Amino acid sequence: MNILVTGGAGYIGSHTCLSLMEEGHDICVVDNLSNSKETPLKRIQEITGRRLQFYRIDLTQKASLVQVFEDRRFDAVIHFAGLKAVGESVLVPLAYYSNNIVGSLVLFELMDAYGVKNIVFSSSATVYGEPEKVPIKESFPVCPANPYGRTKLHIEHILRDLFAADRKWNIAILRYFNPVGAHPSGMIGEDPNDIPNNLMPFISQVAVGKQQELFVYGNDYPTHDGTGVRDYIHVMDLAHGHAYALNKLGEAPGLVTYNLGTGKGFSVLEMVSAFEKVSGKPVPYKIVSRREGDIATCYADPSLAEKELDWKAKLGINEMCEDTWRWQKKNPDGYI
Ligand code: NAD
Ligand code: WQD
């Protein structure tokens, strides 16, 4: 297939491009590099021995994006591009609404105009907000607790309205849980700017000596050890999930929504101890107060994706830690 991947230079996008290229698909990436570098795209081509096409374009710039649709014919689009830092979205909500929603609108308008009506959209477990119970099913109420999450939900609504108006669209909304890990080559991985917001990159930066200690945000949650529980999913499992979603679009399913998670929850302290075991490095930590907006426990019921996509996460917490550690050791300063 000819696939347009927006945000393909980013963390999940780069792993997904690699996996799709290994399966023989032709990939065209559009990314403005606002939160990424071109290096992973070069490395993907080294690993696969195949070429991809790259346009450095901001999705909100319609005149530039038109050129991409003029140049190539696409069978499907995978839409990763967006800003994703929860804390930042509280500080600069307009930047998030503008980038994520306007960028998506421009993309959908051009897809419509050029007759490209198959899309996989990166949504997030964050749309559920604080769940009434776990595991979380796709049918649960949605109530995101921050502007970032609300941009994701708005985009889901836009896609639903688009489908209601034109049944020729095929749309797979994928709600990711907590992506971690890296490609087993150690050549591509997660490369956060500045101090990481998320747990796994922070742990690995402590292990490699870039950060002194981990701050564990609260040990008074109603969980087995008091620390927050999440559904960590290996980024390669997630990447493969996109190929399964593309296959599903081939069956013309209309609009479908799937959780992509493992269905298992691990606490912060369990992640720390798994990482220490795999890396052989100590990860000193200090318990501090809760982070605003955090919830106690969040994990997926991934059974719908298993039933309808035939996809299931295969990699466990050890592979997640091993692959993160390999990437971190090989690239202590990220992509330079
Ligand atoms: P990322 O920041 O690494 O990748 C996003 C990419 O989009 C970056 O390369 C960035 O430069 C690009 N981008 C942003 N705005 C753009 C614009 N206007 N035009 C063109 N390119 C633009 O993030 P990621 O972790 O790879 O996440 C990918 C997608 O998955 C995002 O939509 C994110 O919201 C979603 N998601 C991520 C997580 C997570 O924890 N990483 C969880 C759930 C959902
Ligand atoms: C995991 C656990 C923290 C950092 C976020 C977004 C969500 C989605 C995935 C995009 C929590 C604890 C963390 C640290 C800690 N992204 N923690 N010390 O908050 O579950 O989800 O990323 O869609 O929208 O909100 O992930 O990795 O930040 O936190 O103790 O330095 O680790 O409190 O329990 P989160 P996370």
Q: What is the pLDDT of residue 219?
A: 98
Instruction: Please name the fold of domain 2-180+232-261.
Output: Rossmann fold (3.40.50)
To the nearest whole number, what is the mean pLDDT of the chain? 98
Give the β-pairing of 26-31 and 2-6. Answer: parallel
6 close to ligand 2 (CB < 6 Angstrom): no
243-270 pLDDT, tens per residue?
Answer: 999 999 999 999 999 999 999 999 999 9
146 close to ligand 2 (CB < 6 Angstrom): no
Which ligand ends up closest to the CA of 197?
2
DSSP single-letter state for residue 129:
-
Per-residue 3-state assignment (H helix, E strand, C coil) for 264-294: CCEEHHHHHHHHHHHHCCCCCEEEECCCCCC
Task: Respond yes or no: is residue 55 known to be catalytic.
Answer: no
| % helix, strand, coil for the chain, step of 5 | 40, 20, 40
Q: How far, in Å, is the centroid of ligand 1 from the Cα of 234?
A: 16
- Is the per-residue pLDDT at 336 higher than 90? no
What does the angle CA 279 – CA 215 – CA 330 come to, to the nearest 5 degrees?
A: 30
Beta-bridge mates of residue 123? 175
CA dihedral 145, 296, 13, 253 (to 10 degrees): -80
Under a CB-based contact definition with an 8 Å cutoff, are residues 313 and 234 in contact? Answer: yes
Q: How far, in Å, is the centroid of ligand 1 from the Cα of 97?
A: 14
Q: How far, in Å, is the centroid of ligand 2 from the Cα of 59?
A: 27
Q: Which residue's CA is the nearest one to ligand 2's atom 9?
A: 178
Under a CB-based contact definition with an 8 Å cutoff, are residues 223 and 267 in contact? Answer: yes
Q: Is the torsion defined by CA of 252, 253, 259, 263 positive or negative? A: negative
Q: How far, in Å, is the centroid of ligand 2 from the Cα of 86?
A: 9
56-110 pLDDT, tens per residue?
Answer: 999 999 999 999 999 999 999 999 999 999 999 999 999 999 999 999 999 999 9
Name the residue of 14, 17, 34 whose CB sits within 8 Å of the most ligand 1 atoms, as the mutation to test its pocket: 34
**Using CA atoms, how far apart are residues 136 and 242, in angstroms rounded to an integer?**
20
304-328 pLDDT, tens per residue?
Answer: 999 999 999 999 999 999 999 999 9
**Active-site entry in 55, 96, 128, 148:** 148
Q: Is the pTM of this model over 0.85?
A: yes
Domain boundaries, the chain: 2-180+232-261
136-176 pLDDT, tens per residue?
Answer: 999 999 999 999 999 999 999 999 999 999 999 999 999 99
Atom of ligand 1 nearest to the CA of 13: 26
